Amino acid sequence: MLYTEPKVTVLARPQFAEPAHLPVAWKGESSDGERLAEFAGRLCYMSQHNPAGRTTAEYLENIKRQRHGSVLEHANYTLLFEGVSRSLTHELVRHRAGMAYSQLSQRYVDESEASFVVPPAIVGDAELEGAWRAQVEAAQAAYVALVEQLMDRYRWVDDKVHRRKMAREAARGVLPNSTETKIVVTGNARAWRTLLELRSSEGAELEIRRLAVLAIRVLQGEAPAFFSDVEVYDAADRRPAARFLHSKV
């Protein structure tokens, strides 16, 4: 299978349980994650009575404007990314603060029928796609052959699970960066903002930029007040990018 677009699925979102003895005078519609962040911010000043009469969206807009982003760290969102390349995840996992990752292991998972991600730069060009496809198909065939040969070479290893792991971990060296992978990513709202601001900019690598724009749209649906200052637009290269009004919250 060849992927030309990633897939993003929400796996987990915050669940806020307001303490009965510290009720907030809420205004406007909001998600649990947004209310959690507002509650945390109001606790700092014991302003639960909401003296300014702000909606949650207005309160969080002021938080972003003032760059008091620490209260956003209480709200965590977990996303599943599929249809992304191992080249992309090599970049993604550089973002450590406030993030957690669990990725498909090539040592344990058979890649004999692995999928691949077509690099965005060549999508739609039949000649380039053909040349690229020939290379990944050859690499996959080499992987299958190596696994078989290595399983035979280490036939003296009685534990078949360990033998398969030995074979796959060696054979994976011939697979390209375009090999499709799946990864579960958890981050707090502040960490997501930082990651997505960097990776959705015009200077970001095209595949991770495409994923970042999609993740922005998904998270805007989950918690619009956290990402209300983000604008997705068509960049000079005719591909979507995003800009954050309140940078480095």
Please give the structure tokens belonging to residue 25: 């005078």
Give the list of residues 6+ apart from residue 163 with CB closer than 8 angstroms, or none. Answer: 151, 154, 155, 157
Report yes or no: 175 and 107 within 8 Å, Cβ to Cβ.
no
- Looking at the DSSP bridge assignments, the partners of residue 241 are 233
Q: What is the residue whose two structure tokens read 């919250």? A: 249
CA distance 41 to 168: 50
Catalytic residues: 199
CA distance 115 to 129: 15
Please give the structure tokens belonging to residue 192: 């997501």
Q: What is the residue whose two structure tokens read 């760290």? A: 73
Q: Please report the beta strands in the chain, taking only residues with DSSP state E, as ranges in sequence order.
A: 2-3, 7-12, 76-85, 99-103, 116-117, 180-188, 230-234, 240-244
